[in-house]
Structure 1
Amino acid sequence: MNSTRSESSITQKLGAVLFADVVGYSRLMNENELDTYSALKSLLSQLEATCTQYQGDIVEVRGDGILALFETATSAVEFSIELHRIAAQHNQDRPKDQRIKFRAGVHLGEVLLDERGVHGDNVNIAARLQEIAEPERVYISASVYDQIRNRLRYGYEFLGPKQLKNIMAPIPTYCVRSEVEGATMAATLRPDMPLDILDRPDTPSVAVLPFVSTGNDEDDSWIADGLTDDIIMNLSKFRNLFVIARNSSFFFKTESMPPKEAARRLNVRYIARGSVRRSQSRVRITAELIDANTERTIWAERFDRKIDDIFDILDEVTECIVAATAVMIESQEQQRMVQAIPKDLEAYGAVLQGQHHIFKYTRKDNKKAKTCYEFALERDDRYARASAALSRTLNINWRYSWSVDTDTALDHALSYARRAIDLDPTDARGFGELGFVQLYRKEHDAAIESYKRALALNPNDADLHSDYADALAHSGDNETAITHLQQAMRLNPYFPDQYLWHLGGAYFNLKRYGDVIETVNKMNNPTEGQRMLAASYVQLGDTDMARVIADKHRVAHPNFSLVRWADVQPDRWEADTQHFVESLKMAGF
C-alpha cells in the first residue's frame, strides 16, 4: 500500500544527534539470547529515563542501540559519558564475557523530523562516527567539539579527518575521555599543526612502527606492543640515531599506510616494522628496515625461536637495525644498550603487559599497570625496569590524585626510583622518575641533576626532555626549558597537551604573554589551560577577557583552590609563584 506525505509534515531543526550501539551484540545474543535480551531491555529502560534528565529524547530504540536527539551538544556529550557509566555499573555483576558495552557517536547539525523519526546526512554522520568508535568511548565531530571544548571538562583527543562510509567529505573527529588528566598525557594530532614542516634530522632517523600481532588470540597483542617498546627504548639510547618517540610511533597502530607515507608524516629516513606470532612455547618474529627515500627493504629477518630466547631476539633485532642504518656506535654505547634482564620470563611478560596499560593514561589502566609491575617484582625483586615502572605509576597516581593514599604515593615513588637506580645505574627512566619526585619535594638541584643523568642515558626520550624542561622552568631557567621542549616536540610529533602546558609556563615566567596565549590555544583540552590564559590576558590589560575565562574555569573546575595550588607549586623562586597568583587574583580567581 502506498502513501504520500505532504512536505508540511517534515520540519527542520538544529540539534545534536547521538548514536549508541552495543559492542558484539550478535555474539552476546548467540551465546545467551534470553539473558542478553533481558539485560539489555533493563539497561535501555534506565538509559531512556536518564536521557530526559539531559533534555534529550530517545527517538528510536533498535535491537541493540539507541538514536537520541538533544537540544545542545553539551547535553548530548554529557549523556554519552553518563551512558557508559551506567553501562559499567550495570556490568558489575555480569560475567566478563557477557558484559554489555556501547560505542557512541555525536554530531551537531540540522536534521529532518517527521512522524517516522529523525533523518538526514547529519544523522548518518553520527551513525558512522559510532561505527568507528572504540568500545566505551564517545567519538564526536568537530562541530560538537567547538561547542563544548570550553564548557565541559573532559579529555579530547583529535583523531584527524576521518573518511566515513557514504559521507562525501572527511569529518574531523575527536575522542572524548571522561578522565581529562590522562588525555593531557596521551599522543594526539593537532588540527593546525601540519607535520610536513618538520625538519629531517642530520643524523640517521628512524621510526619503529608498532609490530603486528598475527596470532588468533587478541590478548597476545601486548607481546607485539611490548617488543616494539623495547626496540624503541634500546635504539633511543644511541646518540648517533634520531628515534621517533613511542607515543608518535604508536599513533600509527590502527592506520594502514605505506612506509613511505609514515616516513613522510614523521619526516624520517628509515621505517622499521614487523610482526609477532606466538604459539605455545615458541614465538616467530619478522622484522624489516625500509629506506623511505628509495622504498627499498635494506634488511629483513625472521626469528623462529623458543619463547625463552626472547631477550636474544630483542638484542639481534636492535643490533641489525642499528647496523643497517650505518651508524658508528662507540663501544661504550654498545655496552649501555644491554639492559639488565630479569631472571624470570614471567616477570618480563608482566612488565610488557604493564606497558600495554600504562600508556593508556586512565585511572583503571594505571592501576592494572601497577599490579603488573608489582607481580614482576614478586617474581624477581632485582628487576630494575619493573621498579622504575612501578615508581612511574605512583607518580601518576600522585599527580592526578588517583589513589586513596595520595599523600604517601610520592614517598613510595621515591623509594622505587632509588631502588631502580641501585639495581641498574644505566636505567634512564629510574633517574627520570627520581627527578620528578625530587622536583615536587622542592629539591631543585637534585632534580636537575637526575634529569641530566637520565638524558645522558637516553637522549631520544621525548617525555624526559619535557619533564626536564618543566623542572628547569620551575628552577628559573626558562630559555633552556624552551629548547628542550622544542626537542621533545620534534622527537614526538604527536605530542600530548602536557608539552604545551610546560611551554606555556616557561613563556609566562618570561612574561611573553602573547606566546602563552598562542601556545595554550593549541591545546586539545583548553579547560586545562584556562588559568594560564586568564593570567596572560590580565597582564596584557584585557581584564574583561580574563574574567570571562575565569567564569568558564569556575564551571569546569568547581573545586579549584588557589591557596592549595600555590602550596603545591615547586617553584624555586617565590616571585615566580606570586607572579602567577597575583595575575589570577586580578582575573577574579
Structure 2
Amino acid sequence: MNTTGSDPSIKQKLGAVLFADVVGYSRLMSENEMDTYNALKSLLSQLEATCSKYQGKIIEVRGDGILVLFDTATSAVEFSIELHRIAAQHNSDRLEHEQIKFRAGVHMGEVLLDERGIHGDNVNIAARLQEIAEPERVYVSAAVYDQIRNRLRYGYEFLGSKQLKNILSPVATYCVRTEVEGATMAATLRPEMQLEVLERPDIPSVAILPFASQGGDEDDSWVAEGLTDDIIMNLSKFRNLFIIARNSSFFFKTQSMAPQEAARRLNVRYIARGSVRRSSSRIRITAELIDANTERTIWGERFDRKLDDIFDILDEVTECIVAATAVMIESHEKQRMVQTVPSDLRAYGSVLQGQHHIFKYTRNDNRKAQHCYESALERDEGYARAAAALSRTLNIDWRYSWTEDPSSALDRALSLAQRAVELDPTDARGFGELGYVQLYRKEFDSAIESYKRALQLNPNDADMHSDYADALAHWGDNDTAIQHLQQAMRLNPYFPDQYLWHLGGAYYNLKRYDDVISCVNKMNNPTEGQRVLAASYAHKGELDMARQIADKHRAVHPNFSLSRWAKVQPDRLSDDTQHFVEGLKKAGF
C-alpha cells in the first residue's frame, strides 16, 4: 500500500472491488416497507459475517447493498457467488414477489483509500458493472477474468466490450456462472471475434433475429421466442439456404443495433425480424426481410389472426421469408418442412415454454423445461417434438449428473428418442437425441447413422454438426469431425466452449498437440479443457507445464478418477483411449 505524495492520509492500494445491490429495491419497499427492511437487515448482517472468511473488508453498507474490498480477484468472485447462494437460501421461504435478489459487479485495479472509504475510477467501474448485471449474476471485468480463469471452476461468458455510464473507455465484460457444465453449451462471444471477419456463404444466407415481444406478459416473451425458434428450425431444413444457428441469432436479443450491423457481424445477406403481440384470443405478428447489401426492406407483412390459427401463421411467415429470398424449393423438401401439429394447442404452448428454459442451460431451468415437455405429452401423447425435447433434457441430466440416478435418465432418454423417431421420422431432433444416447451406450455404428439421418433432415443445425463431430472423433474419423466442427462454427459464430472442446479432442486423436493447446486457450473456461491440455503438453515433452496444469485440475476437480473416466469414455478404438490415458499419466494424473 502506498501513500500519495500530496496527502499522506490518502493511500493507494491494489485490490478487487465488489459492488452488490438489491434488484427492485424501491418496489420491495413500496409494497412492504417494514418486512423488506427487516429481511434485508438480517441478510446483510449474515453477509457481513461471511465476508471475513474471504478476507474481504466491508467499506460501506447502504440501504440496499454493499461495497467490499478484497486483496485478490479470486476472493472477491468466490464471495460474490456465496452472496447469491446465501440470498437464495434466505429466499427459500419467501414468496416470489417478496424475494431479495442481488446483482453484483467486480473489478480489479488501484483504488484510493481514506477515512471515508475507497474512491476512484476502478470503484466506479465495479459499480457500473453491477448496474448492467442480470439478477443473481456476477459480472466481472477482463482484469478480474484474467486472474480467475485458470483458478476457479466456474463458467465464463464473454459479453463483449461494454460502454459503461460515465466511464471513458469500454470495459471487456464477463458473466460468471456457477454451473460450469451448462456454460460450456451457452452461446458466447470471444475476444478475438471482435476483429474477425467471417466468410460470406456462396448460397443465400439468412439470420432470423429474435422476434420482439410487445406485451408486458411473460407468456408473450416465450411465444415470441418460440415462433423465432420454429422459423429458424423450419428454414434450416433447406439445403440451398444458409441459416445462422439459434444460439447466435438469440445473442442479438439484448443488443440494440441496426439489422445491417447484425448482418455485418454475421456476414449474411438477409436479416429477418419481427414482433409479436398477443391478446386473450388473438395474435398479431409483424415480420420483415431486409437485404443487408442494399439496406432495403424487400418484404414486410402483418398477420392478425385468432390464436387458434398459430400453426397456419407459422407456416405462412416461414413460406413468405423463403419466397422473399427467391430460393427455388423443390416440392418434396417444401412438404418435409411442415411440422407434425399437435392435436392440442396447449401442448404446443407447453413446448414453447420449455424452449424458453432449456437454452438457459442451468439445472433449475432444465428441470422446468422437463415439466413443460411432460405436460405437453400428457395433453398429446403423439407429439413427437415434445418427446424429442424431453429426451434432450434427460440427456443433459445424464451428461452433467444433474439427477440422482444418471443411468435411469439415459435409459429414459433412449426410450423417448425412439418414440420421437417413430412418431415423426421427418424430425431431426429425435434422431439427434437418439445418436447421443447410442454413443454413450457405445453403440457406435448406430450413433453415426442416427446423426447422419438427423443432418440429412436438418443440414443447418450447428449443434447437431458439433455433436456428430464428437461421435465421429470417438468413432475414429477425426478429419471428418474437424470439417463438421468448422461448419458448426460458421453456422453458429457465437459458438459455445463445447465446440472447442470437441475440436480439441479430434486434434488430440490426430496427435496435433499444438492445435489442441490453441483450441483450449480459446475457451472462455479453460479449466474444463485442462485434461486434454495437460496430456498434450506431456506428449510434447513439456512435463513441467503438464504437471502445473494437472495440479490446477486437481484443485477444481478433486474427485477426478482416471480409471472411471477411461471406462466412461466412448471410444470405439481402444488405442484412442490408451493414447489419452498415457498422456494423463505422464502429466501426473
Q: Is this a same-fold pair by TM over 0.5?
A: yes
Query: Does 2:223 match 1:232?
Result: no
Partners of 1:497 and 1:524 within 8 A in 2: yes
Structure 2 segments unaligned to the other structure (5+ residues): none
Aligned match of 2:580: 580
The one-letter code sitting in structure 2 at the alignment partner of 1:93 is D
The one-letter code sitting in structure 2 at the alignment partner of 1:432 is G
The one-letter code sitting in structure 2 at the alignment partner of 1:242 is F
The one-letter code sitting in structure 2 at the alignment partner of 1:43 is L
The one-letter code sitting in structure 1 at the alignment partner of 2:368 is K
The one-letter code sitting in structure 2 at the alignment partner of 1:307 is L
Q: Secondary structure at the match of 1:8?
A: coil
Range with bigger deviation, 275-284 or 391-400:
275-284
Aligned match of 2:571: 571
Aligned match of 2:167: 167
* CA-to-aligned-CA distance 1:269-313 (integer Å, 9 cap, x gap): 000000001111111110000000011001101111111110000
Q: Secondary structure at the match of 1:277?
A: strand
Range with bigger deviation, 218-227 or 340-349:
218-227
The one-letter code sitting in structure 2 at the alignment partner of 1:145 is Y
Aligned match of 2:401: 401
Partners of 1:507 and 1:513 within 8 A in 2: yes
The one-letter code sitting in structure 1 at the alignment partner of 2:202 is D
Structure 1 segments unaligned to the other structure (5+ residues): none
What is the CA–CA distance in structure 1 between the aligned matches of 2:167 and 2:9, rounded to whole Å? 26
Alignment root-mean-square deviation, CA = 0.9
Q: Secondary structure at the match of 1:21?
A: strand
Q: Secondary structure at the match of 1:369?
A: helix
Report the alpha carbon displacement of residue 401 of structure 1 after superposing the two structures with TM.
Answer: 0.1
1:441-460 equivalences under 5 Å are 441-460=441-460
What is the CA–CA distance in structure 1 between the aligned matches of 2:194 and 2:575, rounded to whole Å? 38
What is the CA–CA distance in structure 2 between the aligned matches of 1:440 and 1:196, rounded to whole Å? 36
The one-letter code sitting in structure 1 at the alignment partner of 2:304 is D
Aligned match of 2:520: 520
Partners of 1:195 and 1:265 within 8 A in 2: no
Aligned match of 1:439: 439
Report the alpha carbon displacement of residue 404 of structure 1 after superposing the two structures with TM.
Answer: 1.2
1:123-134 equivalences under 5 Å are 123-134=123-134
What is the CA–CA distance in structure 1 between the aligned matches of 2:55 and 2:259, rounded to whole Å? 48
The one-letter code sitting in structure 2 at the alignment partner of 1:566 is A
What is the CA–CA distance in structure 1 between the aligned matches of 2:304 and 2:32, rounded to whole Å? 40
Query: Does 2:80 match 1:74?
Result: no
What is the CA–CA distance in structure 2 between the aligned matches of 1:83 and 1:220, rounded to whole Å? 32
Partners of 1:196 and 1:267 within 8 A in 2: no
Aligned match of 1:121: 121
Q: Secondary structure at the match of 2:192?
A: coil
Report the alpha carbon displacement of residue 220 of structure 1 after superposing the two structures with TM.
Answer: 2.1
What is the CA–CA distance in structure 2 between the aligned matches of 1:558 and 1:154, rounded to whole Å? 15
Report the alpha carbon displacement of residue 219 of structure 1 after superposing the two structures with TM.
Answer: 4.1
Report the alpha carbon displacement of residue 78 of structure 1 after superposing the two structures with TM.
Answer: 0.2
What is the CA–CA distance in structure 2 between the aligned matches of 1:559 and 1:229, rounded to whole Å? 39
Report the alpha carbon displacement of residue 58 of structure 1 after superposing the two structures with TM.
Answer: 1.1
1:37-436 equivalences under 5 Å are 37-194=37-194, 196-436=196-436
What is the CA–CA distance in structure 2 between the aligned matches of 1:121 and 1:199, rounded to whole Å? 39
* CA-to-aligned-CA distance 1:34-59 (integer Å, 9 cap, x gap): 00000000000000000000000111
* CA-to-aligned-CA distance 1:323-381 (integer Å, 9 cap, x gap): 00011101111010001011111100100010000000000000000000000000000
The one-letter code sitting in structure 1 at the alignment partner of 2:175 is C
Q: Secondary structure at the match of 1:7?
A: coil
The one-letter code sitting in structure 1 at the alignment partner of 2:291 is D
The one-letter code sitting in structure 2 at the alignment partner of 1:384 is A
What is the CA–CA distance in structure 2 between the aligned matches of 1:357 and 1:62, rounded to whole Å? 34
What is the CA–CA distance in structure 2 between the aligned matches of 1:345 and 1:400, rounded to whole Å? 33
Aligned match of 2:509: 509
What is the CA–CA distance in structure 2 between the aligned matches of 1:336 and 1:131, rounded to whole Å? 47
What is the CA–CA distance in structure 1 between the aligned matches of 2:303 and 2:352, rounded to whole Å? 19
Cα gap change, 1:24 to 1:219, in 2 (>3 Å)? farther
What is the CA–CA distance in structure 2 between the aligned matches of 1:314 and 1:323, rounded to whole Å? 14
The one-letter code sitting in structure 2 at the alignment partner of 1:552 is K
The one-letter code sitting in structure 1 at the alignment partner of 2:568 is V
* Percent of residue pairs identical: 82
Partners of 1:195 and 1:493 within 8 A in 2: no
The one-letter code sitting in structure 2 at the alignment partner of 1:424 is D
TM-score, L = length of structure 2: 0.99
Residues paired across the two proteins, number: 585
Aligned match of 1:494: 494
Partners of 1:476 and 1:573 within 8 A in 2: yes
